[in-house]
Amino acid sequence: MTSKQRSLVGGISILGIAGLICKVVGVLYKIPLANAIGGAGLGVYQQVFPTYNLLLVISSAGIPVAISRMVAHYLARGQGKSARRVFRGAMVLLSALGVLATLVMLVFSGRFAQATGTMESKAGFMMIAPSLLLVCVMSAFRGYMQGQRRMWPTAISQLIEQVGKVAIALPLAYHYMGTGGYAMGAAGALLGTSIAEAAALLYMTVDYVLVRPGMQGEIALDEGRPEGYRRIVRDLVFAAIPITIGASIVPLAGAVDSFMLVRLMKAYLPEQEALSRYGIYSGLVIALINVPTALAMAMATNLVPTISAKRAQGNREGVKRDAATGMRLAMVIGLPSSVGMSLLAKPILTLLFHKEYSPAQLQLGADLLQISALTIVVFTLVQSTSGILQGLHKQRIPMYTLFLGIIVKVVVNYTAVNMPEVHITGAPYASLACYLISAGLNLYYVLKYTGLKWSWREMLLRPGLATLIMALPVALASALWGEWLGRSWLMLGLVMALAVVLYAAAALKTGAVRRSELPGRLGGRK
């Protein structure tokens, strides 16, 4: 494996490990949060987040990706001055968008609450509004640093966000719950999120100030004339628009779920029960499947500047090599994550949430998680192929494929959840259909534009065989000792540790993972 490839895998490891920690903390955070504000409060909390995420993606998601791509492109060609201008132009643009998004959230908080069908959520929309500006500004820093292949600042800022939620949001949730009920408890937790984002932004600003003198030397080596701000901003906007639209589609689907699922279930269920079922699905199940997908996000983040730099250098073989590595790692990570979480769905949920939820609610969550876990591998492939296509300047393709998938998701949701005998259990099937369509189409275009040949052995058979070797004893343990696993952290931990060891050994033996890719051998830049 070349040093360039190690840098790619190393960057994925840095962001992936940080992302996993953040997702695990996020899941564990839901336990005391649910205890503080109850199932209905968690439902209100989850109703606010999809709209917030949608506005956040619209205002900030596309530009950081475009920043990293353009910075990597200019640095690969020795144009340090132009790379710095990309950051400055993006900072102005993102700050303006952040102010606008915050104002929209504040001014229309009542309308958003009305659209969810729960007017008590208005305070939550107002409490989280400031974080839209904070994250937008932070995204400019993150995109600039990722373009330089400096992944540590992004990773550390993500950890600060999660630690801040636990240290700040939980006390606020308890306080507001005691003074204003479950809806105000949810609002207190959302206010804590805004404060945590402010702390993360402060860290990114300090890191930039400390590292900036070192970048000056690289900029001084550039004796050429930098690109004009007008052209840079124009290129930034044209690159960011399709990426933003594509990135907005998944949060849009979440927002559609928040508006659609509770309303559909209220036709045949009491409001509190509809909110509780939606809270279980979005607050517990989706939070759990988002843990392994943190690695998918890390892959996409790294693939964009890596592929873009190779493209700028005219290195077609390098593009093909990194694209193949990214897709193979997507399967290596996604397959065992999907199968393992599906097999251990009930013990995991029971151990985590048995104090907050009844046995019937936990069984519902387990049924949902068994299906939803299957989306992990497909979503991981969607993210890696989207990152490759964006690095190739084909950013419109993931936008179109996800949009098509979301149309199918909405249709399946409306058809299935509208039936009382199906209710919320139709939602995971809708998501699975959505991502299958997007992944299949993305894969077709990656192969077309990179010239890669699809290898069943590399992409499916080897990781599939390693996953099967891991899955058989886990399935046996779950069948024999399922009740014990749901009562003992030690027992579940031993089974999960056995699964990891078996998969690691099998993956190395089958060649799904190569020894040169192990973290101890990585040589990525910090």
Is there a contact between 41 and 183 (Cβ–Cβ < 8 Å)?
Answer: yes
476 CB neighbour count, 10 Å cutoff: 12
| Residue 165 and residue 26 in contact, taking contact as beta carbons nearer than 8 Å | yes
Using H for helix, E for strand and C for coil, what is the string for 355-403? CCCCHHHHHHHHHHHHHHCCHHHHHHHHHHHHHHHHHCCCCHHHHHHHH
The two three-digit tokens of residue 159, written as one number: 């950890």
Number of H helices, E strands in the chain: 22, 0
The DSSP call for residue 513 is S
CA angle 454, 524, 206 (to 5 degrees): 125
Give the DSSP letter of residue 444.
H
SS3 373: coil
For residues 480 and 475, what is the distance between their CA atoms, to the nearest angstrom?
9
Residue 218's pLDDT is what? 56
Q: To the nearest 5 percent, what fractions of the chain are helix, strand and coil?
A: 85, 0, 15
CB-neighbour burial class of residue 69 (10 A; exposed 0-12, middle 13-18, buried 19+): buried
* Distances in whole angstroms, Cα of residue 252 to Cα of each of 54, 247, 290, 409: 6, 9, 17, 11
CA neighbor of 373 nearest in space, from 401, 398, 346:
346
Q: What is the pLDDT of residues 36-76, one digit of tens each?
A: 887 778 778 877 877 777 677 666 667 787 888 788 878 87
Q: Which helix (H) or strand (E) holds 12?
A: helix 3-60
Q: Nearest to residue 14, comparing CAs of 194, 149, 186?
A: 149
Which pLDDT value is given to residue 526? 37
pLDDT at 99: 93
- Determine if residue 226 is left, alpha or beta; phi over 0 gives left, psi from -120 to 50 gives alpha, anything else beta: beta
The angle that helices 3-60 and 316-343 make with each other, rounded to 10 degrees, is 70
The CA angle 500-503-509, to the nearest 5 degrees, is 140
| Under 8 Å between Cβ of 468 and 345 | no
Q: How is residue 334 written in tokens?
A: 């996604």
Q: How far is CA 56 from CA 52, 53, 240, 257, in A?
A: 6, 5, 14, 17
* SS3 label, residue 150: coil
Contact predicate 390/448, CB 8 Å: no
| Residue at token pair 């990773």 | 155
pLDDT at 221: 57
For the chain, which ranges sit under pLDDT 70? 1-16, 18-20, 23, 27, 54, 57-61, 212-224, 246-252, 255, 294-302, 515-526
Q: What per-residue confidence (pLDDT) applies to 501?
A: 92
Alpha-carbon dihedral angle through residues 435, 441, 442, 447, given to the nearest 10 degrees: 140
Distance between CA atoms of 142 and 384, rounded to whole angstroms? 19
Token couple for 24: 């695990």
Radius of gyration of the chain (CA): 23
**Cβ proximity of 486 and 353 under 8 Å:** no
Cα separation of 435 and 318, whole Å?
28
AA identity, residue 333: I
CA 332 to chain CA centroid, nearest Å: 18
How far apart CA 219 and CA 202 sit, in angstroms, is: 25
Supply angle C-alpha 408, 237, 224, rounded to 5.
140
DSSP 191-243: HHHHHHHHHHHHHHHHHHHHHHHHHHHHHHT--SPPPPHHHHHHHHHHHHHHH
